[in-house]
Amino acid sequence: MSKRLIRITSQAIYPSLDKLLKLEINAVMQNGNTIFGKLHSFTEDQLVLLDTRSHPHQLLLNDLFEIVYDA
């Protein structure tokens, strides 16, 4: 069965973060790296993801290319 992946572009990330709290997301960076985890918190300029080992990753919104998650 196919998944329904939703992509949020870099321009639309900040307004969409409220509905993504506590969801598992893939944060795709401008350099091509992808970080998987649950969205823990966010501010105007950064977000914090908790990976599968509960380690926090602070990501700057300016460095994000897109966010991808499963609906």
| Model confidence, pTM | 0.88
Q: What is the pLDDT of residue 3?
A: 73
Spatial contact of 45 and 61, defined as CB atoms under 8 Å apart: yes
Could you say which architecture CATH assigns to the domain 5-70? Roll (2.30)
Q: What is the rounded CA–CA span in Å between residue 43 and residue 33?
A: 21
How long, in residues, is the chain?
Answer: 71
Q: What is the rounded CA–CA span in Å between residue 54 and residue 27?
A: 16
Q: What is the pLDDT of residue 2?
A: 62
pLDDT digits (tens, 9 = 90+) for 36-71: 999 999 999 999 999 999 999 999 999 999 999 998
Q: What is the pLDDT of residue 1?
A: 55
Which backbone phi and psi does 25 adopt, to 5 degrees? -135, 160
Spatial contact of 17 and 42, defined as CB atoms under 8 Å apart: yes
Tell me the domain boundaries of the chain. 5-70
